[in-house]
Chain A
Amino acid sequence: MIPRRRSTDRWGWLLLMALVGLLMFAGAVSLAGCADPIMATRSAIATASSVQHDAVDQFKAWDRPHQLELARAAADMTTGAAALEQYRDKRKAVVAAAKDLYASNRAAEVATNMVEAGLQSKDKLPAIVGALMKQVNELLQAIRLAGLDLGGF
């Protein structure tokens, strides 16, 4: 037999439901806090730095045997020197892209710190992240044009 609920029971359950709702709300707010734009930007900076580091490491390791191959394949000194010169011209874009990306990462770090300190609006952070990812792709593209395909990002 189901006992009849008294009026105070109903108020108790109502209160319980309200507090469970509050608990869920607090959880949702906490989760939302974990995905804040400052953390997202810092994660993007770390990712861009790591991708760049790996890509440039692989490029440097490939650069020497590639140049040696060009030198060994040359028919004479003039064409060999020209082949190396042509390759090194393409390589300048890789070095420039790597240095630009590093500078942008540093600038993004400063901007993130300023947002965290309340000195700058967080509205700019998504654009900063987008620009970093674009520069990572530009670096990989420059490496591809120099002759080494590391795939996309």
Chain B
Amino acid sequence: MDTVDIVDLVAAIVGAVAKAGTQAIALHGANVEAVKAAMVAALDEQRTQIMTIDADLAANDAAADKELHDKFDKGQ
């Protein structure tokens, strides 16, 4: 292996390292964005649910109260 071969070899390996590094950075960046997007979407869903939880449960309460009143008002 002469000097020219070594220079070619070094150039090829440095190129491979740079390419692998660039791909890893791109993949990492894509993962970061995907995780961030998943978090934002989950929090949005959660916010909607929390905003309506009291009203949803109040509707259930009203249905149960009606059931109770219907049962005993009819019996009286």
Closest residue of B by beta carbon distance from A88 = B61
> In this assembly, does A149 line the interface, its C-beta being within 8 Å of a C-beta of chain B?
no
Q: Kindly list chain B residues whose C-beta atoms are within 8 Å of the C-beta of A114.
A: none
> In this assembly, does A12 line the interface, its C-beta being within 8 Å of a C-beta of chain B?
yes
> In this assembly, does A150 line the interface, its C-beta being within 8 Å of a C-beta of chain B?
no
The total of chain A residues at the interface (CB under 8 A) is 52
A interface, CB within 8 angstroms of B: 6, 8-9, 11-12, 15-16, 19-20, 22-23, 26-27, 30-31, 33-34, 38-39, 42-43, 45-46, 49-50, 52-53, 56-57, 60, 63-64, 67-68, 70-72, 74, 76-77, 80-81, 84, 88, 91, 95, 98-99, 102, 105-106, 109
- For the complex of A and B, list the 8 residue pairs with the smallest distance between their C-beta atoms, beginning with the closest: A30-B24, A67-B64, A49-B42, A71-B67, A64-B60, A71-B68, A19-B13, A12-B1
B interface, CB within 8 angstroms of A: 1-3, 5-6, 9-10, 13-14, 16-17, 20-21, 24-25, 27-28, 31-32, 35-36, 38-39, 41-43, 45-47, 49-50, 53-54, 56-57, 59-61, 63-65, 67-69, 71-72
